[in-house]
Amino acid sequence: MTRARRSGLAWLTALALMAALAAGLVVASSPRRPATAQDAPAVTVQKAHAGSATPTLKRRVVLLTIGSDSGAPKFGRGGSVEGGRADALQLVVIDTVKRRGSILSFPRDSYVNIPGHGTNKINAAMAFGGPRLLVATFEQLTGLTIDYYALTSFDGLTDIVNKVGKVQVNVDMNLRDSFAGAFLNKGKRNLTGGQALAYARARKTLPGGDFDRSRHQGQLLLGGLGTYQRQVKQDPAKVMTWLGIIRDEVKTDLPFPELLRLALLATDVPASQIRSIPVPSVAGSAGGASVVRLLPGAYSLFGRLRAGKLS
Amino acid sequence: MTVAAPNQFRPRLAVLAGVLVGVLAAGCTSGGGSDADGQAPEPPASSAAPARPLQVELVTMAKVPPGGPSASRAAKQAEPGLEQFLDRYLTAAFVDAAGREGGWDGLLGLFDKPVRASARRQLDALSLGADAAKVSAVRPGRASARAVVLYGEKRPAAATVRLAFDGTADTAQGSGQVHLRSVLQLLATGEGWRIAAFASRTGPPR
């Protein structure tokens, strides 16, 4: 054997040895990986469980939602939101246990007693004494304790709807109202902020006038609830988006923790379980001004609410 | 001289082989566990495996009011408190729950009062629950969370958190995996974060 051949053989032997050693080490080391969660043998520790919950609040929550005709610079409305007249008035009554409720829509011209101010249109109460007096007026009228109010303006309503990205409303009639700028066809419509405001304001061309308008305002609230629920179902973090918008656009005496709890509860109250009820009333006049007088049916409605039979 | 040449090769080859083997062995060791002593492999995933500390990987976004801090600053400010809360939650629900046959007050204290009774009824969907009694230890694996924080005037006011936790639980029959997937709606209180609503599931992933 030549020296060159012997040298080559030695290299080959060494390489083969190293390869064998390396292979041996790899094989030997494989089962020695430290145990991880993925390595765990298939012992079933947990069965599948699912659950969810939203807050359980006191049995009934009554919220007065108010749309002011002031404090809306975008619409040329000066003054403060709280110092204006309350042109949209809904009483929202939620049974938090049965997860159902009612929205009572009041015509703004309802002729009622305002504590300390005699009889007048209900929308004047806020101009006389701010939201507190308006709440007191409603409490005296209905016999219900109103827990909180939520107040916004034209600007606030349009901003809310635009920021949440349109609100789906069941428009109940074809509308051609140039006074309010409402041009909508009957059916399910996704309304922009401007369209939502127009729908809430249109009155002059509607057959029922103020009655139709207050019903539309109730529909708008329900549409907002449905839109909120759909968005939160898709993305639970939308609760924070909506709360942020409400924080910026709505004046309320709701403490934040209660606002959050109500917002969470609202995800759990099907819109189909909320009835929109126009308060029974009839057109009339007082001192030459056109007003709306509540009918006896309105007072029996309040009685049923007080007894917890409606919400 | 001619014979000596291969002899000069042998020590060089041996050194080379030794170095190579050393490097390979070191590589295998750093890959996990030396086999140099030639003992039989340990049974996998037993309680002897080193426990990794619970650490929640948290990604936070913030929604701030007009005129408030920047969203990134607000998120950064909210993060430590949230992380601490989620750590407390997972510790009470899983890590410290092993062997427990009752007494979930520590965990339930993390819930806002209006939802506490519902949480008590649904412990199995929120924690080890009834399985805690048969578990001797829980070793945390991956814990991650994504939070959207609503910032108030000066501090966080509420948050939505998507929480995922995987771990290994040891029982007398062996070890198995535990999982949690939750959406927690949180309220900031004077005593820290509290869970105001939840949607949660435990058990094998879907």
Residue B135 CB partners (closer than 8 Å, separation 6+): A45, B97, B98, B99, B128, B169, B170, B171
Domain with A301, as residue range(s), is 60-306
How does residue A243 score in pLDDT terms, banded at 50, 70 and 90? very high
**Highest mean pLDDT of the ranges A43-47, B7-11, B73-77:** B73-77
Separation between Cα atoms, residue B188 and residue B181, nearest integer Å? 22
What is the structure's pLDDT at A287? 87
CA–CA separation, B141 vs B91, rounded Å? Answer: 12
pLDDT at residue B120 in the model: 96
| Number of domains within chain A | 1
Residues A129 and A138: their CA atoms lie apart, in Å, by 13
DSSP symbol at B94: I
Nearest Cβ partner for B117 among A36, A56, A244: A56
- Within B62-195, residue ranges assigned H as helices are 71-90, 105-108, 113-121, 123-126
Size of chain B in residues: 206
Band the pLDDT of B151: cuts 50, 70, 90: very high
Cross-chain Cβ contact B203/A236 below 8 Å: no
Residues sharing a CB contact under 8 Å with residue B37, sequence separation 6 or more, in sequence order: none
Q: Do B139 and A37 touch (CB under 8 A)?
A: yes
- Residue B13, pLDDT above cutoff 80: no
Q: What domains are there in chain B, each with its CATH number?
A: 56-202 (3.10.450)
How far off is chain B from A17, nearest CA to CA, in Å?
Answer: 8
> What percent of chain A has pLDDT above 70?
86
- Chain A residues 69-98 with a CB less than 8 Å from chain B: none
Q: What is the pLDDT of residues A246-281, one digit of tens each?
A: 999 999 999 999 999 999 999 999 888 999 999 999
A5 touches chain B (CB under 8 A): no
Q: Which pTM value belongs to this model?
A: 0.79
Residue A82's pLDDT band (cuts 50, 70, 90): confident
CATH label of the domain that carries residue A275: 3.40.630.190
- Sorting pLDDT into bands at 50, 70 and 90, what band is A58? confident
Checking if the pLDDT of B183 tops 90, the result is: yes
Structure token pair of residue A279:
């308060």
In a domain, A203, yes or no: yes
Say if A4 is an interface residue toward chain B (CB within 8 Å): no
Give the model confidence (pLDDT) of A129-146 as tens digits: 999 999 999 999 999 999
Is the pLDDT at B133 greater than 80? The verdict is yes
Q: Is A21 within a domain? A: no
User: Is there a contact between B179 and A22 (Cβ–Cβ < 8 Å)?
Assistant: no
pLDDT: which is higher, A201 or A11: A201
Q: Does residue A285 lie within any of the structural domains?
A: yes
The answer to whether A35 contacts B45, with C-beta atoms less than 8 Å apart, is yes
| Residue A77 maps to a domain | yes
Q: Which residues of A touch B178 (CB under 8 A)?
A: 45-46
Binning pLDDT at 50, 70 and 90, where does residue A4 land?
low
Q: Supply A8's token pair.
A: 């080559």
* ipTM here: 0.81
Indicate whether A15 belongs to any domain. no
Residue A35: pLDDT over 80: no
CB atoms within 10 A of CB B73: 13
